[in-house]
């Protein structure tokens, strides 16, 4: 028991001894992800001087130097209090802001502390000994890890606030700054050409969606919050330095900018496409669209910045002065179409159309340029008491070389239209209406348009404007009472009836001309047909003649052949005839002898003739003896025998011959067929004598 007690006793004594040694020599351990801030509780050198909170020479208070990660000896607990804080980390592509709690005070023209070489605020001694200033700093921290004494420097990042051992009030102030920077997107670099940008209005930052703009159609307008103020009468700071960046790397080096004479306020120099790490405490950035001058327009420049220039218009132009480019006032030369990175707070560009554009004095109609959105149809009163509303359009052209004169005289195109063109045009057409009837406005529109174009063109020339054309629409009637007939429509009806009558008259005339032409056409067609027939007949005659000639030639050839053949046959026939003739003569002589003998046998030639006739009649289909014989006598009294004619004589001979039994050489007649019983008897010749 005594041994155990002795062991415990010596262990306790050893522990206290070690603690005493540890406390006496001041052994401290700092993790490598943190830093140690020394607070000296007391010092033989006394406390800090007036206005100082960080000790440089070992005074009591927060010490400038810090303890890095590791084991440190010489900081006894009775003299030092060590506050460990994490390392400051700035994310890639982000910005950290620094607030110095100690240093020299700012001057009257300063809002931010000057940049001091102090290894990114990691060397507090260098910062304080090199005249570092307390307050918000112009220098910023880029991405990386920093071992910073947060008792001297408060670092504000997007992730949080590295404030160290500070009061609650200071923490609340730093939290307010962090919120402002976050709202203004101050922890991110300025991206000219991004889809979203911050637009600052007074003390409030408003995030605006710029998706409707092309990323490459934006510029950055810089407003510097530090440095000397502008001279009286100036409202925009001039560009300083040489080259495009001005020597200050586009406001990313605030001390160089101020050393070159930079002033606070809106800057004339702008930022174009790119990424810029700009301290938002030093300068705010407002993205605005570039100045676009489209095709068909020129840009008349009105500069609010620069020194006064000499007038280049001459003594005749009394509507203002024009100056050379770079001077304050209206520039003599307009900008051609294109994109320009112009500061809209320093330069205003008025677009003036250089192509023909239309203005419509028509109620409810507006062109895309919207110059005529306040124009309406012109009310008129005609000589015959009509009160129409006249819609019309005006085609204008502005010479691009005279565009600055137009802007100098009227301010802009819209004011030119409302204060000059509209009164002139309205007064002109009211004068025309008072000297014309309503029917003239309807039927003589072309002539009125021509005269209006000439007269208004002459008047507009004095305003450097060219009047291309005046186009008049259909006059309309104003508001009518219920049931009231539109007088213009009634007039149109009368005009239509008149025109219809004229058209009918013209139609009848045309129909008459058509009838005459139809008659001439029919005559020509008939002549053409007759001519065709005549031509065809002539052709047929020629064909027939050619065919006849061919046939004649063929006939002559055939005739010659037939003659030759006939001559041959005639010769042959002649020879045959001579032999045949002799033969026939002999036969005829023999027949003649026979006939002569027959005649002699009949004793009478007549009887021989009758025998021949009877032979012929015997073979005839007609009956040999007629059924009736009508004898005509030549006696006139019926009692005296009439003279017998040839026929009666022949019949008498035949009757007599029949009664005597015929001639001697009567040919045998075929036996008559027997008449069957019940048949009629043979018909006898009935002789009827007619006196």
> Is the CB of residue 157 less than 8 Å from the CB of residue 76?
no
| 198-246 residue pLDDT tens | 443 333 333 344 445 555 689 999 999 999 999 888 889 999 988 888 8
Q: Is 424 exposed, middle or buried (0-12, 13-18, 19+ CB in 10 A)?
A: middle
Q: CA-CA distances (angstroms) from residue 115 to 187, 258, 293, 575, 624?
A: 19, 11, 42, 167, 179
Which residues make beta-bridge pairs with 135? 100
Q: Is 527 exposed, middle or buried (0-12, 13-18, 19+ CB in 10 A)?
A: exposed
Tokens for 547, please give them: 């065919």
Q: How confident is the model at residue 625 (pLDDT cuts 50, 70, 90)?
A: low
| 111-154 residue pLDDT tens | 999 999 999 999 999 999 999 999 999 999 999 999 999 999 99
DSSP strands (E only) in 31-69: 34-40, 54-55, 61-67
Number of Cβ atoms within 10 Å of the Cβ of 554: 10
> Is the CB of residue 267 less than 8 Å from the CB of residue 235?
no
| 47-104 residue pLDDT tens | 777 778 888 888 888 999 899 989 888 888 888 889 999 999 999 999 999 999 999 9
| 514-573 residue pLDDT tens | 888 888 888 888 877 777 777 788 888 888 888 878 888 888 888 888 888 888 877 777
> Is the CB of residue 372 less than 8 Å from the CB of residue 418?
no
Could you tell me which of 521, 416, 522 has the C-alpha nearest to residue 460? Answer: 416
What's the confidence (pLDDT) of residue 629? Answer: 54
- The values of phi and psi at residue 163, to 5°, are -110, -15
Proportion of the chain above pLDDT 70, given as a percent: 79
Its sign, for the CA torsion 165, 167, 171, 174, is: negative
What CA dihedral angle connects 539, 543, 546 and 549, to 10 degrees? -120
Q: What SS3 class is residue 604?
A: coil
Write the DSSP symbol of residue 58: S
């Amino acid at each position: 028991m005594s041994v155990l007690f002795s062991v415990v006793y010596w262990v306790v004594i050893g522990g206290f001894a070690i603690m005493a040694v540890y406390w006496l020599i001041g052994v401290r351990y700092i993790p490598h992800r943190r830093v140690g801030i020394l607070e000296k509780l007391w010092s033989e050198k006394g406390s800090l001087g007036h206005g100082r909170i960080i000790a440089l020479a070992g005074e009591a208070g927060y010490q400038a130097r810090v303890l890095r990660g590791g084991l440190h000896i010489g900081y006894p607990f009775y003299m030092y209090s060590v506050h460990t804080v994490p390392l400051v980390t700035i994310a890639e592509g982000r910005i950290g802001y620094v607030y110095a709690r100690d240093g020299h005070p700012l001057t009257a023209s300063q809002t931010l502390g000057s940049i001091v070489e102090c290894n990114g605020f990691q060397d507090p001694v260098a910062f304080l000994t090199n005249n570092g200033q307390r307050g918000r700093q112009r220098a910023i921290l880029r991405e990386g890890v920093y071992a910073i004494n947060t008792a001297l420097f408060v670092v504000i990042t997007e992730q949080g606030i590295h404030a160290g051992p500070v009061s609650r009030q200071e923490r609340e102030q730093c939290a307010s700054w962090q919120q402002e920077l976050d709202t203004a997107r101050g922890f991110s670099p300025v991206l000219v050409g991004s889809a979203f940008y911050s637009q600052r209005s007074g003390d409030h930052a408003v995030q605006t969606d710029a998706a409707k703009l092309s990323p490459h159609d934006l510029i950055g307008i810089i407003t510097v919050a530090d440095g000397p103020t502008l001279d009286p009468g100036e409202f925009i700071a001039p560009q300083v330095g040489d080259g495009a960046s001005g020597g200050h790397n586009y406001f990313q080096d605030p001390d160089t900018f101020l050393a070159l004479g930079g002033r606070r306020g809106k800057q004339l120099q702008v930022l174009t496409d790119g990424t810029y790490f700009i301290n938002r405490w030093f300068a705010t950035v407002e993205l605005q669209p570039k100045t676009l001058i489209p095709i068909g327009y020129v840009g008349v420049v009105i500069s609010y910045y620069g020194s006064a220039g000499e007038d280049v218009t001459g003594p005749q132009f009394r509507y203002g002065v024009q100056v050379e480019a770079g001077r304050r006032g209206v520039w003599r030369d307009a900008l051609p179409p294109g994109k320009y990175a112009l500061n809209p707070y320093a330069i205003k560009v008025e677009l003036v159309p250089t192509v023909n554009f239309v203005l419509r004095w028509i109620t409810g109609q507006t062109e895309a340029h919207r110059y005529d959105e306040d124009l309406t149809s012109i009310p008129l009163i005609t000589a015959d008491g009509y009160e129409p509303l006249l819609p019309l359009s005006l085609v204008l052209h502005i010479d691009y070389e005279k565009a600055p004169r137009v802007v100098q005289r009227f301010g802009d195109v819209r004011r030119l239209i409302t204060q000059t063109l509209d009164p002139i045009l309205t007064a002109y057409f009211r004068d025309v209406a008072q000297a014309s009837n309503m029917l003239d406005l309807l039927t003589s529109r072309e002539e009125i348009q021509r005269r209006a174009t000439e007269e208004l063109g002459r008047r507009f020339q004095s305003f450097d404007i060219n009047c291309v054309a005046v186009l008049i629409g259909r006059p309309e009637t104003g508001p009518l009472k219920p049931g009231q007939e539109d007088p213009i429509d009634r007039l149109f009806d009368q005009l239509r009836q008149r025109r219809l009558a004229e058209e009918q008259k013209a139609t009848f005339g045309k129909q008459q001309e058509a009838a005459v032409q139809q008659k001439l056409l029919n005559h020509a067609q008939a002549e053409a047909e007759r001519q065709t027939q005549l031509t065809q007949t002539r052709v047929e005659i020629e064909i027939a003649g050619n065919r006849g000639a061919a046939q004649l030639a063929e006939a002559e050839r055939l005739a010659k052949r037939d003659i030759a053949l006939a001559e041959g046959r005639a010769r042959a026939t002649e020879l045959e005839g001579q032999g045949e003739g002799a033969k026939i003569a002999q036969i005829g002589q023999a027949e003649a002898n026979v006939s002569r003998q027959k005649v002699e046998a009949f004793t009478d030639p007549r009887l021989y003739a009758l025998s021949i006739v009877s032979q012929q009649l015997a073979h005839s289909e007609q009956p040999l003896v007629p059924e009736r014989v009508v004898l005509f006598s030549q006696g006139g009294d019926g009692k005296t025998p009439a003279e017998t004619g040839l026929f009666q004589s022949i019949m008498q001979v035949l009757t007599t011959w029949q009664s005597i039994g015929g001639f001697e050489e009567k040919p045998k007649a075929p036996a008559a067929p027997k008449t069957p019983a019940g048949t009629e008897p043979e018909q006898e010749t009935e002789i009827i004598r007619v006196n």
